[in-house]
Amino acid sequence: MVEEIVGDAVIVADLFSGLGTFALPLARTRRVYAAEGARDAALALKAAADRARRPIAVEHRDLFRRPLSTGELDRFGAVVLDPPRAGAREQVAALAASKTGRIAYVSCNPSTFARDARTLVEGGWRIEHITPVGQFRWSTHVELVASFAR
């Protein structure tokens, strides 16, 4: 689903990348920049990318305290955003003003997603589709994947 949203973008940012759930598969055919605030996760992703020989530039970066600027974001054809439950308020503000072509937003919290989506829509983005993902059997918890475009 995320790869479909990213489409044919050649250079992709994976923000709040964790261990590389999205960065590693995307890097099969694209150049990927991955930012993650948890040092251990960033180091594990770098090691996995090196072992898999995937071109991923991994940065240990706290996107709450130091989100990518609009200028930094403008170089990416697409952005994958998979924040923790707190959402990505700080990062979304810069994304809303960026020239990035597409955003794949993966969320585990409908409230913070709605807040962040509003910021993007007010910045000129449109929601193309939202897909619920019920990956936790016997639970009421639902993830979602949303596609944003200009």
pLDDT at 102: 97
Query: The dihedral of CA 132, 137, 138, 141: what is its sign?
Result: negative
**Residue 148 contacts residue 124 (beta carbons within 8 Å):** no
**CATH class of domain segment(s) 2-149:** alpha beta
Q: What DSSP character marks residue 133?
A: E
Catalytic pick among 79, 81, 106, 108: 108
The β-bridge relationship of strands 102-107 and 31-36 is unpaired
pLDDT at 143: 86
Q: What is the pTM assigned to this prediction?
A: 0.93
Q: What DSSP character marks residue 57?
A: E
Per-residue model confidence as pLDDT tens for the chain (150 residues) = 999 999 999 999 999 999 999 999 999 999 999 999 999 999 999 999 999 999 999 999 999 999 999 999 999 999 999 999 889 999 999 999 999 999 999 999 999 999 999 999 999 999 999 998 866 677 666 789 999 999
Catalytic residue status for 108? yes
pLDDT at 46: 97
pLDDT at 26: 97
Q: Where are the domains of the chain?
A: 2-149
Cα 35 to Cα 16: distance, rounded to the nearest angstrom: 6
